[in-house]
Amino acid sequence: MTFLRKPRHGISMRIVGRVALLLVCLYAGIAATYSVRFLNGIERDAQTAREEQIPLILSQNRNALKIERAASLIRSVYLAHDRKIERQIQLQLQTLCQSFTLDENQTLIDGARDIAASVKVIVSTREASRKLRDPDGAEMTAEIETQIKNTDTASAEAYQRAILTADRLSETLATDAVALADSMASTIGSAAREVKLGWTLILTLPVLFLVVTLWVVSRHVMAPIGAAVARLEAISSGNPEGAAPRTPIFHELATIADAVEAYGALSSDLSRTNTLLKILSDRDGLTGLANRRSLQGVLDATFQAAKSGGPDLGVMMIDLDHFKAINDTYGHNAGDACLVAVAAALQRFEEKDGVHVGRYGGEEFVAVVSGRDREALAALAERVRGEIMALEVLSENGRRISLTTSIGVSHLAERPLDGVHRLVSEADAALYQAKREGRNRVGFAEPAGPYDIPKRNRQA
């Protein structure tokens, strides 16, 4: 995005002042001295904005885009699970982080180093985990499983540190942008005050000169300055997308207007970047459903509402049957296609039945249902099972992939549970009971344990 317009051949306010001196001979000395002083001041302010503040704004925008790219690479290297891809992304991220050393912002430099170090930890722990998972044919022991869990935990912690560092750098850039905007607003306000004072003194000239001067000041000086100030106020109030004011005929004021527009564009880009980061942090990258973190927030909020007298709460744990066999038979691309198709089916239940659905991990999904009794939960679970079983998913060679699912259901039913994790655990236990009893079925959790619900239209 281009923030600055091309240089214009506009009218210089210095020339206007000199013409006024020729027209008012008696007042020439006083008017010339005063006009040159404040016009030079405006020119200096415009020069400062052009040579110092605008490059800083552009630098902030470039750094914001780099931080956005860095956050994307961090997520990519964490989700890659492929040695070659991880190394390639790590090299890209190291190059990107090294580019911050060209700036004189020590906070960005330190943050970039922290991100590079965290990504290095992710790659190294992933490599260690791979070696532990394939120990040259040795039997998997409890100690090795513990080591694998520890390396996975270290990788997740490094990922969180890197993402938090990227968020902190984005906030730092936003704070710096606000400081630049305040500085520019102060400069423009000072210029406006000097212009007002100068033209107030000039109004003592004869009536004709007074009329001409009022028209010039009103239309070509005050209006652009007021528009610039109004534009800054609109940007500060969170509305940077408004129409740009008319281009001033004085190139000094045009430079200031361009600086305001540059700040507005930067503010808009930062807002969009923050919105995008928020969306990415709450959604699963493959299916587009809520990820486990955001789903946990829904579970906690719905549980607290139910405990406070709100609608009853039910939890469904949904797991695709024989998913590993699908991956082994048709390939991981086909497996991903199955997950996407199931997610689309579950999203239809979100729209029609008001449930909250998210990807819990792997081939597991969770549905959070409010305001339904036991029978309604059972019927809804059977509908979900039937909908997934009826999906048409084709492999790359055109073969239809048969999908079935096992579902575990738990129900709060005004029980004095200590947390929503109990409902999730009950649903998980009911799910595995359904798996043990033959899969492609719905299991309903009871306080004493899960039991199977008779299926309706099993062959549908």
Cite the active site residues.
363
Are the C-beta atoms of 3 and 265 separated by less than 8 Å? Answer: yes
Q: How many CA atoms lie within 13 A of 53 on its CB side?
A: 28
According to DSSP, the β-strands at 393-394 and 356-361 are: unpaired
End-to-end CA distance of the chain: 55
CA distance 42 to 252: 7
Dihedral (C-alpha) 416, 419, 424, 428: value to the nearest 10 degrees? -70
Per-residue burial over 181-195, b = 16 or more CB atoms within 10 Å of its CB, e = otherwise: beebbebbeebbebb
Are the C-beta atoms of 321 and 266 separated by less than 8 Å? Answer: no
- How far is it between the farthest Cα atoms of the chain? 107
Residue with tokens 């029980």: 415
Q: Which of 437, 380, 433 is nearest to 411 (CA)?
A: 380
Residue with tokens 């044919």: 137
Q: Cα–Cα distances in Å, from 3 out to 52, 103, 120, 129, 201?
A: 14, 20, 36, 47, 36
